[in-house]
Structure 1
Amino acid sequence: MRRQIFTFFLLLPYASAFAQNIPTPKEHFGFAIGDDYHLTNFTQTERYFKKLAAASDRMKLTTIGQTEEGRNQYMFIVSSPENLKNLARYKEISQKLAHAENLTEAEARALANEGKAIVWIDGGLHATETVGIHQLIETAWNLASRKDPETLNILDNVIILLTHANPDGQELVSNWYMRDSDPKKRSLEFLPRLYQKYIGHDNNRDFYIMNMKESQNMGRQLFVEWIPQVMYNHHQRGPAGSVLAGPPYRDPFNYVFDPLMMTGIDALGAAMYNRLNAEDKPGFTRHDGSTFSTWYNGGLRTTTHFHNMIGLLTEIIGNPTPDTIPLVPERLIPNNNTPNPVLPQPWHFRQSIDYSLSLNWAVLDYAARHHDQLLYNIYHMGRSSIERGSKDYWTPYPSRIAAITEAINADKKDMRTAQSPSLSYYDAVLKDPKLRDPRGYVIPADQTDFPTAVTFVNALIKTGIQVHKATSPFTLAGKNYSSGSYIVKSAQAFRPHILDMFEPQDYPNDFQYQGGPPVRPYDAAGWTLAYQMGVKFDRQLDDFTGPFEVIPYGEIQRSQGTMPTARTSNGYELSAGSNNSFVAVNDLLAAGIGISRLTAPGPNQGDFYVLASAKATTILEKSARELGLKVEAVAKKPAATSLAAVKPRRIALWDGYGGSMPSGWVRWIMEQYHFPIRQLFAKEIDAGDLRQKYDVIVFVTRAIPGVTGQSVGRGYSRREPKEEEIPAEYHATMGSISAGKSIPQLKKFLEAGGTIVTIGSSANLAFQLGLPVRDALVEMTSAGKERPLPGEKYYIPGSILQVEVDTTQRAAWGMNAKTDVYFDDSPVFTISPDALSKGTIKPLAWFPTDKPLRSGWAWGQAYLQGGVTAFEASVGAGKLYVYGPEITFRAQSHGTFKLMFNQLYSTAD
Structure 2
Amino acid sequence: MQELQAEPLAWEEEIDDASLFDAVSGVGFDSHPVARAVQPIPGRLTGSGSGLRLNPVQNNSFRALNRAWDMGATVRHGDGEYIVTGLGGTAVDGLIQDYALQATRGPTEGVDLSRPDLGIYRPWNPSMDEGWTRWLLEEHGFSFSNLRTADVHAGDLRDRYDVIVLPSERPGSLMNGFEAGSVPPRYEGGLGQEGIRELDQFVRAGGTLVCMSASSDLCIDELHLPVSNATRGLARSEFFSSGSIFQVRVDTEHPVMAGMPQLGKIFFDRSPVFSMEEGFEGSVIAAYAKEGSPLLSGYLLGEEHLQGQAAAVDVHHGDGHVILLGFRPQWRGQPRGTFRVLFNAALFHGSVARNATGTEGFWER
Task: Place the TM-score, normalised by the shorter chain, in its bin.
Answer: 0.7 to 0.9
1:776 partner amino acid: A
1:869 Cα deviation (Å)? 1.9
Change (3 A) 1:607 1:718: closer
1:872 partner amino acid: D
1:442 Cα deviation (Å)? 8.0
Q: Is 1:559 aligned to residue 12 of structure 2? A: no
State the match for 1:183 in structure 2: none
Where in structure 2 are the equivalents of 1:382-421 lying within 5 Å? Answer: 399=3
CA deviation profile, 1:785-809 (whole Å, cap 9, x unmatched): xxx2211121112211111111111
Match of 2:316 among 859, 867, 874: 874
Q: Is 1:908 aligned to residue 351 of structure 2? A: yes
Where in structure 2 are the equivalents of 1:412-491 lying within 5 Å? Answer: 435=7, 449-452=19-22
- TM-score of the superposed pair, with normalisation by structure 1: 0.35
1:646 Cα deviation (Å)? 1.5
Secondary structure of residue in 1 paired with 2:102? coil
Match of 2:263 among 810, 814, 818: 818
Q: Check the 8 A contact 1:800/1:856 in 2, yes or no.
A: yes
Q: Check the 8 A contact 1:595/1:610 in 2, yes or no.
A: yes
Q: Check the 8 A contact 1:683/1:735 in 2, yes or no.
A: no
1:908 partner amino acid: S
Where in structure 2 are the equivalents of 1:14-25 lying within 5 Å? Answer: none
**Matched residues in 2 for 1:814 and 1:653: separation?**
23
- TM-score of the superposed pair, with normalisation by structure 2: 0.84
**Matched residues in 2 for 1:571 and 1:867: separation?**
39
Match of 1:768 among 213, 218, 222: 222
1:562 Cα deviation (Å)? 2.9
1:889 Cα deviation (Å)? 0.8
Identify the range of structure 1 (554-563 vs 666-675) with the bigger mean alpha-carbon deviation: 554-563
Change (3 A) 1:854 1:752: same
Match of 1:862 among 289, 304, 312: 304
Q: Is 1:593 aligned to residue 73 of structure 2? A: yes
CA deviation profile, 1:845-876 (whole Å, cap 9, x unmatched): 11113301111110112221011121011111
2:287 partner amino acid: W
CA deviation profile, 1:583-620 (whole Å, cap 9, x unmatched): 1111111222112122xxxxxx2112222542xx3332
**Matched residues in 1 for 2:116 and 2:30: separation?**
35
2:81 partner amino acid: D
**Matched residues in 2 for 1:587 and 1:718: separation?**
36
Change (3 A) 1:716 1:859: farther
**Matched residues in 1 for 2:343 and 2:45: separation?**
26
**Matched residues in 1 for 2:345 and 2:31: separation?**
34
Match of 2:292 among 822, 825, 850: 850
Secondary structure of residue in 1 paired with 2:239? coil
Q: Check the 8 A contact 1:656/1:734 in 2, yes or no.
A: no
2:64 partner amino acid: A
Secondary structure of residue in 2 paired with 1:880? strand
Q: Check the 8 A contact 2:169/2:214 in 1, yes or no.
A: yes
Q: Is 1:700 aligned to residue 167 of structure 2? A: yes
CA deviation profile, 1:241-282 (whole Å, cap 9, x unmatched): xxxxxxxxxxxxxxxxxxxxxxxxxxxxxxxxxxxxxxxxxx
CA deviation profile, 1:429-474 (whole Å, cap 9, x unmatched): xxxxx85998xx9898x9863135x579x96x7898xxxxxxxxxx
CA deviation profile, 1:375-401 (whole Å, cap 9, x unmatched): xxxxxxxxxxxxxxxxxxxxxxx948x
Q: Which structure: larger Rg?
A: 1
**Matched residues in 2 for 1:761 and 1:581: separation?**
28
Q: Check the 8 A contact 2:227/2:276 in 1, yes or no.
A: yes
Secondary structure of residue in 1 paired with 2:153? helix
Match of 2:121 among 651, 654, 662: 654
State the match for 2:60 in structure 1: 580
State the match for 2:84 in structure 1: 610
Secondary structure of residue in 2 paired with 1:701? coil
Match of 1:720 among 179, 186, 194: 179
Match of 1:742 among 195, 218, 224: 195
Q: Check the 8 A contact 2:247/2:265 in 1, yes or no.
A: yes
Change (3 A) 1:754 1:870: same
Identity, % of aligned pairs? 25
Change (3 A) 1:903 1:436: closer
- Where does the alignment leave 5 or more consecutive residues of structure 1 unmatched? 1-397, 404-433, 465-551, 599-604, 707-714, 779-787
Where in structure 2 are the equivalents of 1:671-690 lying within 5 Å? Answer: 671-690=138-157
1:658 Cα deviation (Å)? 4.4
**Matched residues in 2 for 1:716 and 1:834: separation?**
26
1:856 partner amino acid: G
Change (3 A) 1:882 1:578: same
Q: Check the 8 A contact 2:24/2:99 in 1, yes or no.
A: no
Q: Check the 8 A contact 2:46/2:103 in 1, yes or no.
A: no
Identify, as 1 or 2, the structure richer in helix: 1
2:213 partner amino acid: G
Secondary structure of residue in 2 paired with 1:647? coil
**Matched residues in 1 for 2:236 and 2:14: separation?**
38
Change (3 A) 1:798 1:462: farther
Change (3 A) 1:825 1:716: farther
Q: State the structure with bigger RCO (CA 8 A, min sep 6), 1 or 2.
A: 2
State the match for 1:522 in structure 2: none
1:716 Cα deviation (Å)? 11
1:557 Cα deviation (Å)? 2.4
State the match for 1:668 in structure 2: 135
Change (3 A) 1:790 1:606: same
**Matched residues in 1 for 2:279 and 2:191: separation?**
30
**Matched residues in 2 for 1:557 and 1:663: separation?**
30
Secondary structure of residue in 2 paired with 1:823? strand
Q: Check the 8 A contact 2:250/2:257 in 1, yes or no.
A: yes
Change (3 A) 1:860 1:455: farther
**Matched residues in 1 for 2:197 and 2:316: separation?**
16
1:563 Cα deviation (Å)? 4.0
Q: Check the 8 A contact 2:286/2:310 in 1, yes or no.
A: yes
1:665 Cα deviation (Å)? 0.6
1:556 Cα deviation (Å)? 3.7
Q: Is 1:622 aligned to residue 91 of structure 2? A: no
Alpha carbon RMSD of aligned pairs, Å?
3.3
Secondary structure of residue in 1 paired with 2:42? coil
1:683 Cα deviation (Å)? 1.9
**Matched residues in 1 for 2:226 and 2:9: separation?**
47
1:672 Cα deviation (Å)? 0.6
1:657 Cα deviation (Å)? 1.4
**Matched residues in 2 for 1:582 and 1:752: separation?**
27
Q: Check the 8 A contact 1:845/1:871 in 2, yes or no.
A: yes
Secondary structure of residue in 2 paired with 1:609? strand
Where in structure 2 are the equivalents of 1:341-360 lying within 5 Å? Answer: none
2:282 partner amino acid: I
**Matched residues in 2 for 1:612 and 1:620: separation?**
10
**Matched residues in 2 for 1:793 and 1:675: separation?**
41
State the match for 2:357 in structure 1: none
1:833 Cα deviation (Å)? 5.0
Q: How many residues align?
A: 346
1:675 partner amino acid: F
Change (3 A) 1:851 1:586: same
1:832 Cα deviation (Å)? 2.1
